[in-house]
Structure 1
Amino acid sequence: MSDERFKPTAKMAANAKKGLELRAKFHRGGTEVGFHRAEQLARQDELGEEDIKSMHSYFARHAVDKEGKSHEWGSDENPSAGYIAWLLWGGDEGKAWADRYAAKLA
């Protein structure tokens, strides 16, 4: 296992902050793990290999959430819980980032 560290991007931080704001406003979306991840991303804390693997796994499992019919994906007025959770993990930019690093770590 590597002790290499990876710094999240500003866009990932912005997505996480938006997710935290929507979660607070609508009282839905994300688990405690997702909440903690969002706090890390919002601060742009450097993440380790296990964090990358966790993010990659989250996005692989939750891409299906985009198909949900309860509330709206991408809405700031009536966001789905899945959309909020997706933002907590860094949004589409977080997925691309995690996928890119996970491929290098494999």
Structure 2
Amino acid sequence: MGTMMTDTFKPTAKMAANAKKGLKLREEFHRGGTDVGKHRAEQLAAQEELTVEDVKSMHSYFARHEVDKKGKSHEWGSDSDPSAGYVAWLLWGGDEGKEWADRHAAQLD
């Protein structure tokens, strides 16, 4: 395992804020995200330490869902009519979550 610092996988405040926003929009609009995404958002919102598996799962989530930004139903980035994809994206930490997961996943390979 080497001498990896234990706080390597702590979500950032911005990721936590995105996750909280995602949870709020999900509750308000009843769309976006699975139970897995909701659980991930709760972890991020609490800024809980994530495992290597969590990081890898976030990395693959974002790789699969980048295409959701092009979705036509509802609006990406909207607080008044958010697309399900946008809500789910926020649940996983938003753009900051993607950058964070990509960076950490690259270190793991």
Range class of TM-score, shorter chain: over 0.9
Distance in 1 (CA, whole Å) between partners of 2:84 and 2:21 is 13
- Indicate yes or no: 2:29 matched with 1:38: no
- Indicate yes or no: 2:52 matched with 1:21: no
Normalized against structure 2, the TM-score is what?
0.94
The amino acid that maps onto 1:50 is: E
State the secondary structure of the residue aligned to 1:93: helix
Provide the aligned C-alpha RMSD in A.
1.5
Give, in angstroms, the shift of residue 39 of structure 1: 0.1
Q: Give a deviation string over 1:5-54, Cα, whole Å, max 9, x none.
A: 51000000000000000000000000000000000000000001000000
Structure 2 runs not aligned, ≥5 long: none
Q: Which residue of 2 aligns with 1:96?
A: 99
- Indicate yes or no: 2:11 matched with 1:8: yes
Pairing of 1:58-73 with structure 2 (within 5 A):
58-73=61-76
Q: Which residue of 2 aligns with 1:54?
A: 57
State the secondary structure of the residue aligned to 2:48: coil
Percent of residue pairs bearing the same amino acid type:
78
The amino acid that maps onto 1:100 is: R
Give, in angstroms, the shift of residue 61 of structure 1: 0.1
User: Runs (4+) of structure 1 moved beyond 2 Å?
Assistant: 1-5
Number of equivalences = 106
Distance in 2 (CA, whole Å) between partners of 1:6 and 1:99 is 12
Q: Which residue of 2 aligns with 1:80?
A: 83
Distance in 1 (CA, whole Å) between partners of 2:51 and 2:10 is 9
The amino acid that maps onto 2:53 is: E
Distance in 1 (CA, whole Å) between partners of 2:83 and 2:36 is 18
Normalized against structure 1, the TM-score is what?
0.96
